[in-house]
Structure 1
Amino acid sequence: MTDQAAEAGAHVRELRETRGLSLSALARRSGLGKATLSGLEAGTRNPTLETLYAVTTALGVPLTAVLGPRTARASGAAVDALLLDRYEDEATVTETYRVRVRTGAAQRSAPHAPGTREHLTVLAGTVLAGTATAPVRLAPGEAHTWPADVPHLYRAPDGDAQAILLVRYPA
């Protein structure tokens, strides 16, 4: 696999071991298979954005805890994300991503850690985004903020779209 996958897997293993969790315990908490986690930690699987969020939510850490400088890109069912910046203070961790929402698929995200919020500003195209029960249609220049500790989604109904995403986690 790639150096990126190996680096992300090493971060996952370190975080799991620091918390005293077995692979089985992390599998239960994240809802992922033990074989999936084993392959992730070994660097033999390229993790999807959904897998990384499931693991980081189960570990109670932001996504950037497993994304190192060389693994600042991640893709999911409909979203490609490039980490642009990470800011941390005593109250929050804020991650800024440049995202492409691909047409033809929906990105359904499981709840993140309690208190997490997402802020999306559309640059080009149209995006349907927000909580799974009340997504909002956004055109270029429009923005929306929603609680990300509930199921939420992204969809580009009219062709690929570009946006800036801020994810704010409580520290």
Structure 2
Amino acid sequence: MDSEAQHPRPAVDGGMADIGRRVRRLREERGISLSALARGAGVGKATLSGLENGIRNPTLETLWAITTELGVPLAMAFHTPAPEGSDTTSGGSRPPVVHGTAVEGTLLQVFEDAEVTYELYRLVIRAGTPQVSPAHHEGVTEHVTVFAGTLSAGPAGAPLRAGPGEHISWRSDVPHTYAALGDQDVQAGLLIRYPRR
């Protein structure tokens, strides 16, 4: 077993203390105990406590499970929304980068309206390593446009396929997969649509 398998890469580059504070605030705003959130998300209480205290680096799958249980978009755990009316596409801050087993996503923009939150990512799906993502909360959909490579993605039992210039969408409130087919990494854009709960 290699060291990356023994020690999975953290979900987000840097800022663990900030992520922990955001997760704790989201949990407390909803009146959920640490034990109840850990149980509902299917993660260890020590894992969640370590995350909230900024001393444990979660995997992307762990962050997905926690934010899904909290009923919030993933970006709420690691991204502070810009004030309304401000331009979030420019400025000096480096966009957050999230890491899964096969997927690396750079958060480009978070859009909100009265009923829906959208997250826009630039994706790289590494060849040779499939990823299974847990179900998100009800009604969440994912929309992927492939720029290079061939992608297999979608519901775990019935993934879809797309090549350069093609687009696929699915409801991601079920376990779903990402895999680059062949030996070329996939370059793609991902839009995640979260209806408000």
Question: Contact between 1:104 and 1:156, CA under 8 Å: does it hold in 2?
Answer: yes
Q: Say whether 1:37 aligns with 2:48.
A: yes
Q: Say whether 1:55 aligns with 2:66.
A: yes
Unaligned 5+ runs, structure 1:
none
Measured against aligned partners, the alpha-carbon deviations of 1:78-131 in whole angstroms (never above 9, x if no partner) come to 111110001100111010000110122111111101010000001111111011
Unaligned 5+ runs, structure 2:
1-9, 81-93
Q: Secondary structure at the match of 1:28?
A: helix
Q: Secondary structure at the match of 1:154?
A: strand
Identity %: 53
Question: Contact between 2:161 and 2:168, CA under 8 Å: does it hold in 1?
Answer: no
Within 5 Å, give how 1:87-98 maps onto structure 2.
87-98=111-122
Q: Say whether 1:152 aligns with 2:182.
A: no
Over the aligned positions, Cα root-mean-square deviation in angstroms equals: 1.6
Which of 10, 19, 28 is equivalent to 1:8?
19
C-alpha separation between the residues in 1 aligned to 2:128 and 2:62? 20
Where does residue 75 of structure 1 map in the other structure? 99
Change (3 A) 1:3 1:160: closer
C-alpha separation between the residues in 2 aligned to 1:7 and 1:73? 14
Q: TM-score, normalised by structure 1?
A: 0.94
C-alpha separation between the residues in 1 aligned to 2:145 and 2:107? 15
Of stretches 20-29 and 54-63 in structure 1, the one that deviates more from structure 2 is 20-29
Runs of 4+ in structure 1 off by over 3 angstroms are none
Of stretches 1-10 and 136-145 in structure 1, the one that deviates more from structure 2 is 1-10
Of stretches 117-126 and 154-163 in structure 1, the one that deviates more from structure 2 is 154-163
Q: Which amino acid aligns with 2:149?
A: G
Q: Once the 2 structures are TM-superposed, how far is the Cα of residue 46 of structure 1 from its aligned partner?
A: 2.0
C-alpha separation between the residues in 1 aligned to 2:111 and 2:95? 17
Q: Say whether 1:140 aligns with 2:164.
A: yes
Of stretches 110-119 and 2-11 in structure 1, the one that deviates more from structure 2 is 2-11
Q: Once the 2 structures are TM-superposed, how far is the Cα of residue 153 of structure 1 from its aligned partner?
A: 0.6
Q: Which structure: greater helix fraction?
A: 1
Q: TM-score, normalised by structure 2?
A: 0.82
